[in-house]
A and B are shown apart, each in its own frame.
Chain A
C-alpha cells in the first residue's frame, strides 16, 4: 500500500527573491521518473516538508502547461516558512501531492476572465494565468487586477510585464494608498476599489480572486453588488490551516467540506451554501 503521508524527495534548483519576505522556489524531484510524470492542475497545492521542522501546504504557482516546472511562492510567516526561506539551492526538501480540486478550466474556456489578486494571493492566480496564456486561443479577454501594500511588495515583477504584452491581456496594477513611490505609474487604492473603478462587464465573464481574507470579502461584495456578477461567476481559492491535505486530520473542515480535498477552489455560490463560517 502506498504511504500517503510520505513525501517525495525534491531538490531546490532555483530561488527567486520576489520581495523582502517572499521567495519563489523552483523544485525538481530526485526521482527522474517522478519528475517526468508529475502532473497537476492549476490551483492545486502540495505539502512542502523541511525535514525536522515540519510540513505546510502551498499552492503550485507554476503551470502544468510548462512541464517540469514545479514552483511555489512562499511568504515568510511562521516556523515552516522561515525554514523554507533559509533553504539554499541544492538543499533537499519533501513534496507530496498534488492535492485539491484546482480551477475549473472547463468552465473558464471560451469566457472572458478577470483575475483579481492581492499580495501573495497572486501565486495561485499565476498558475492559472500561465495556463491561460499558454492556451491563449481557448479563452477570451483577460483582465488582471493586481495590488499589494506597496510597490516593493508586488511579486513576479518581471513577469507582470510579460503578461501585459501578451495578446488580449489588460493589466491594472495598484498599491495601497501610501505604498506608492515616485516612479509609480499604476493605480493607487485598495484592490476592491480599483476593481469597481475598472468595472469589467460581467457578460460572458468569470472573476477569479485570491488575496487576504479582507480583500476577498470586499471583492465578493463589490462584484455581486452594482457590478452585477452572479455568485456562480466568481471563483476564489481558500486558505485554511491544514495538516494532512487528505481530508483526514479534520482541521480544514468548514461546513460540510474539507478545504484540502473538496477545495481549495470554490465558487462564491458554493461558499454561500456552506453557511457563514467565513
Chain B
C-alpha cells in the first residue's frame, strides 16, 4: 500500500475475512456475534469461524462491553484500587459486526458517562480502547424502527468502519475514522470497488431501508409529552406491563445502575449493577416513601426519560429503534404503539 492512498472504500472478499481477523487478533481482542445455545451474543473470538454472520441482531446489546451488567468498581484495602481502573482492558478491542443502531446507542451513553461535569473512568477507558466495526443491516426485522429515530440500517455515525454484505461473496467496506483506516491497512487483499459494486451497495441499502416498515412520527413528540404528564393515557398504557424490566435490561441506551457493597472476610467490594426504573424498589427511600408508587408512574418515567427528558438534556432521543424491548416483552408491549397513543392523545 502506497502512502497517501485513500483507504476510504474497499472491497473485501468474504473468504479473506478470516485472515484479516486473525491478523487483527494479534493486536486486538475481537468481540463478535456468536451463536451459542440458540442465542446470538457478542463474545470474544479466536477464529473467524465463530462469527455468526447471519444474525439479525444480538439478543443482548453490546453495551455490556462498556457498561457491564455487573462489575466490581473497586475493593478495599485501598492499595488495589487505582490499579484496577487502569487495567480494565488487557488489550485494545474491536467490536466486529456491531449494528449501526447499537453503535449509535453508545454515542448516547457517551453523553451520560462522559458528560462535561463528571467522567466515568470505567466506561471511558473501555470506550476509548474499543473500535467499532459495523455491519450494515440487510435484513431489518419487523420490530425495527431505526429510521424513525435518526438512524438507519446503513447508518455510518459513530463507527470506525462500516461493512456491507453485497451478497455475491464480497463485502463493501468503508473506513470512517483514522482508526478504522488503520484496521483496513492490516488487510493486504483489499480490492478497489467497481462501479457495479457501488450500484449494488446503493441497491441493497435502499432495499434495507424499505424493509424498515415501522414509520413512527417522533417530530413534536417531546413537546407533546410536556403537555400530557397528568393525562389518563398513563392509566391505560401500563395496564398490561408486568414490571419485569426486560425492556430496560435489553435496551442499548438504558443506563440506570445501583451501587452496593459486598463483603467477605478478606475484603470489601463496591459493585455496580444494572438497575431498572421499572422496579418498585428503584426509588424507595429509607423512610419507605416512594415517589413512583405504581407501575403507572414507572412506565411514564421510562417513556418520558427516553422521549422528553433525555432530548431536553442532550438534544437526542434516548432510543435507537433496535426493537429489542418489543421482541422480548413477555406481554407484547410495543413502544411504537405507546408513542402512537401519545401522538393521538
Contacts and interface: CB of A to CB of B under 8 A. Distances in A.
A and B associate: yes
Contacts of A253: 277, 301, 305, 309
B76 A51 contact: yes
Contacts of B119: 1-2, 4
B202 interface: no
A248 B256 CA distance: 7
Interface string B107-137: 0000011010111110011000000000000
B121 A2 contact: yes
Nearest to A9: B78
Contact of A6 (B81, B255, B289): B81
Interface string B62-90: 00000000000110101001100100000
Nearest to A257: B309
Nearest to B257: A249
A55 B81 CA distance: 17
A54 interface: yes
Given A4-B121, A248-B118, A243 B113 contact: no
Band of interface residues on A = 35 or more
Contacts of A56: 286
A241 B284 contact: yes
A52 B262 CA distance: 6
A247 interface: yes
Interface string B234-275: 000000000000000000000111111101000010101001
A276 B263 contact: no
B268 A4 contact: no
A244 B67 CA distance: 15
Nearest to A99: B118
Given A3-B74, A251-B282, A253-B305, A51 B113 contact: no
Contact of A3 (B85, B112, B287, B309): B85
B14 interface: no
A243 B73 contact: no
A4 B74 CA distance: 12
A4 B263 contact: no
A7 to B, nearest CB: 9
B81 A243 contact: no
**The 6 nearest A-B residue pairs measured at CB:** A250-B256, A78-B286, A52-B263, A77-B286, A275-B229, A52-B268
Interface of A: 1-6, 9, 49, 51-56, 77-78, 80-81, 213, 239-241, 243-244, 246-251, 253-256, 261, 275-278
Interface of B: 73-74, 76, 78, 81-82, 85, 112-113, 115, 117-121, 124-125, 229-230, 255-261, 263, 268, 270, 272, 275, 277, 282-287, 289, 291-292, 297, 301, 304-305, 308-309, 312-313
